Copies of this chain bind each other. A is one copy, B any other.
Amino acid sequence: MAKGPERRKRIVESAVEVILEVGLRAATTRAVTEKAGVGTGLLNHYFRWPELRALAWAQIFAAVAEDQFDSEDDPAAALEHYFSTAFVPQARRFWHLWLEASELAASDDDMKAAFRAVSEREWGILEAVLAAGVVRECWSLPDPQATALRLGALYDGLAGRLLSPADNLDADLAEAHLRHAFALECSASGA
């Protein structure tokens, strides 16, 4: 048992767990090897740390992207799900990981590539949902692509404020602001 690259998988899984527990910045190779129960050399046999870190991060956010818009074919339900889960307490750790990745990407090419891929995918999904809702007349928007960008950016900004020590805001208010902004976008389409 425990043949070839089974330990490799364990290392990636442990990296995911460590990152979820302590964040991207505080995660260390030693914490990962310790959690995986392997020698420090094995991690470096399979990976370089920036590479493994980016891989684990991407894996985390691949799962997040799936959860964020789970209603496959109903734009209204998908957007409702997006709004209602946007600021739940469990999401905090993911905003934090998102911000850390955004910063790390400035000096880390592996993170840069991972961040690019994930953020473009997430942006694309929101855009698709908004556009689909227009086609199906769930709502009307003059420019769904522009609305997707503004709504996504507003989401980032609100999440950032919820994380920051300045407490202008709580989760319910943030959600209300996001919904309000969307309502404004829709109201601008009066013929």
Contact = CB atoms under 8 A, between A and B. Distances in A.
A184 B188 CA distance: 7
Interface of A is mostly: helix
Oligomer copy total: 2
A102 interface: yes
B152 A120 contact: no
A164 interface: yes
A168 B123 CA distance: 9
Interface residues of A, number: 39
Interface string A3-25: 00000000000000000000001
B99 A146 contact: no
Contacts of A70: none
A150 B176 CA distance: 11
Nearest to A158: B153
A102 B100 CA distance: 10
B153 A161 contact: yes
A157 B164 contact: no
A150 B177 contact: yes
